[in-house]
Structure 1
Amino acid sequence: YIDVNSSATLLTGYSKEELLKMNVSDVFFTNDENSHPFSGDQLDDGKPLLNESIIRQKAGSHIHVEISAKLLEDGRYQGIVRDIVARKTAEEELRNSEMKYRLLFEQNPMPMFMLSIPERDFLDVNNAAVEFYGYSREEFLSMNAYDLRSEDETEKLENYYAQNPNGINHAGIWTHLKKDGTEVKMDIITHYITNDGRNARLVLANDVTEKLDAEINLQKSHEQLRLLATHLEDIRESERTHMAREIHDELGQQLTGLKMDIAWLNRKIKSDDLEVQQKIKDTIQLIDTTVITVRRIATELRPSILDDLGLIPAMEWQSEEFQKRSEIETNFVSNLSNFAASPEVATGIFRVYQESLTNVMRHAQASKVEASLNIADDSLELVITDNGKGFLIETISNKRTLGLLGMKERVNLMGGTYEIISAPGHGTSVKINVPLS
């Protein structure tokens, strides 16, 4: 070295005196005599030379540098050295990042591809996309995003790109076409990126065709089960109505006839036997009790008031009957005096009310029940509240209580909602909403 500046001493860690006693190869790594920074035909021809090298610092560290060298008129070489450690580190990080990206892109089990913006041409595809869609990589690179879509989705795709120019977006479910013409449903996630200085969109495609088909089939099964349950409920209610009429009419008439016959025999039999007379009297009383029981059973099977007068009178009657039977004060109110429900809804609401009152009598240990049936937010709302002991909702959530299941199923068949609110010591409230439609 003939001369060095202060920056050279800072960069190498050597003093100026030390450097002036050293050779180029003492500081720069060189593989041979011709590879040091100041060798080369270009430099000897008088042209400047720019290259990279590694400096060996005094402390033993190695740093990357860029050297701009030129041959002076007096035959000496001049070198301007710049620290490029930060640049080299960034380049290494970029290489590692690109390797990771290629690994994630190529080895991803789901189809991925990169589209140019705004042309929508394929810039790259991974192996999964090639295998899934049936196109070769070369075919993909000559295609456009619209080649995977049916004509029906062209406008939809244009609108999506216009509304989502950048960022990570869950694009939703799209219909794609494979090479063989098969339609598949793809769940698409896109990400705006730059690739080799070009704006691009990275696309991840997940085949959800089988999942959607399974969901559709499940919905169909649910609908079929709902229709079957409705049909079975209609049959059961029809059978109840038939049985109630048969019991009330046929059995009631027969018991009445039997009572008349025994009364006739009593008049014809001339007996002073008090035991015989008492037996006949007891039999007539038993027939009267049986007639009352038959009427009660027929009414419980299907109250005629529900068919004759409608839902509101039937619920008022049920409230009175429940209070007589249970001695629990029962108040029912409604602002629907002229409301005419369909037979299906009237029967469903009435049966849920019956079952709720039965649960109060069996489990609540209540002394009072408040019930109401009104219209709220385009739905028929039934609320039954008792002042009983209450319970933890969790305790019944884990049990298959048939009464509650039956009520919930009835409400579901009417397209409504069923809610229970309760807490120990605070009673229970049952709320049912059925759409008026």
Structure 2
Amino acid sequence: IGIRDPVSVPMHAGREQPEPERRLSPYQAPDTPLIPHEKPSHPVPADAPLRTWNDCGVVAGDIQSRERRVNPLYRHQEDLRHALGQLMVKEDDLLWNIEVLSRDLRPFNPGVQGSDSSDTLFLHMIMDAREGIIAYDTDLRCILWNTFMEQLTGIPAADVLGRREFEMVPALRDAAANLLLVQALSGKTVESSDISCHIPVSGKQAWVRLILSALRDSKESVIGVICIVQDTTARKVMEYALQTTILQLMESEEKYRSVFNAKNDPLILIDTAGRTILDLNNATSDLYGYTREEFFSLPLTSLFTEPEKYYALLDRQAPGIRLFRQRKKDGTIFPADISYAYFELKSRLVLILSIRDLSAAYQTADALRLANTKLNLLIGVTRHDVINNLTVLMGYNDLMQHTVKDSKSLEMLKKVESALQAVHRQIEFTREYYNLGVKSPVWQNICETSTRAYSQFITTIAFTCDTQDLEIYADPLLEKVFYNLFDNAIRHGESITRINIYCVREGPDLLLIFGDDGEGILPENKERIFTRGFGKHTGLGLFLTREILAITRVEITETGEFEKGARFELRIPAGLYRFVDSGNLLKMSGSETMNLRA
């Protein structure tokens, strides 16, 4: 650094030197004045010899010689003290001039060392900032490229300093970022949108955002541009992931909505805590007559004719199917089979109802029941007329047997009588089943029903029922089922002495056993006995028994051993049997027992 005195004589350490070449920083205004300094009042002669302490020795007794030697020493010591003071003044001048030269450049020039710790701290803050900082001079040549920019682009500062704007990152120039530099030079603060740029050196693809403003000196003169570079790659990646997720959610919701609305059965989602409707499909509005908006402000109890059952449904928290009577907007009451289940949605328990309107099914059932009733009425009238005519035929046949003496004719008349009696028995048998399927199934106690059937026989065969309070859901003709089983045992059991009814659990089903200790059934006849017309009597007893039980999906099979007794198993599906008293014990298939509750 050249320091000029007021008379433009270059000085260095108090000695005249050849004037060095004036080298000011290209970032410093050329007219920046330098701080003048004073020349020393007693400069040290250039040809002054170098003195040593040996030159200052004193010989005893030679006072004049001593004074001659000491006096020049004092003068030389004074000159040295004065020269030292001048050097200290020059050092202060140098530091002051450096401060002036770097006053505007220190924040942007990493090569300049500050005069105090605060300047050094400021320099480190710029270089270690977590955002890119670039500075340009008025010719738009780079004068600062901090550490963050080196890490972002992979380009060291030495390769960038002095180059034109965005020369090393052409993608920014292609994005018209150079136009922002021009605006910043005019004194404006401008920002760019997110720019996708490819870094040729590193091959990286990044997103950046630029904030540019004018770089000013202490006199507020524009001396360049400062550019803040924000790396927005992570944010763009997150935005893209978020947009992708949103699109997926929208697509998923669209699929859910399509499936939800395409469902023919009405569906309702209910918040069990707030007891409010969360969502419903179009079929729900069509069924009840309310609009979607009306449903969201509607108390759900208004849909149920029995609100207490609705509250029990909310508190149940277990899936199932139940029959409810529902109310439409116009007040119409209709039966509905409601399937319900529970699931968690956003940390809250949600109840979903699938509603199936049974009005059409009930109307069909009523129509069938009415048709069956009328058909039975017709059959009853017809049966009555047929029996009357059979009675007449049997009367005439009996008269003919008393008047005809020919043996062959009498034999033929007896065969006619036998045939007429068979027809009469079959017609009378159908009288007992004319209500088959007409009435709805009901819960019936096994011991009570079987005891009533057994009481219709006069027999010495012992009978026990060990099912106590067991009830099954069956057709009202269940008593006729037990009557046919007793009739079959008494007619064909031969050596039978006792009949027992009990039940065992087999998986979810219940086996109701009707067993005896009689002759049993041949293996080849175990299935044939349930076919129509098989047997020595009417051939309809066990056939109709199976049909009655099939109405409520109860199966019957014969599993006994021949010559050890017959064993009829009635398999009752889960849900079609119950125990009124929870204290009953069931016999298991082995020696175990288990408690089966209603």
What TM-score results when the alignment is normalised by the length of structure 1? 0.50
Structure of greater relative contact order (alpha carbons < 8 Å, 6+ residues apart): 1
Structure with greater helix percent: 1
Task: Compare CA radii of gyration and give the structure with the larger one.
Answer: 2
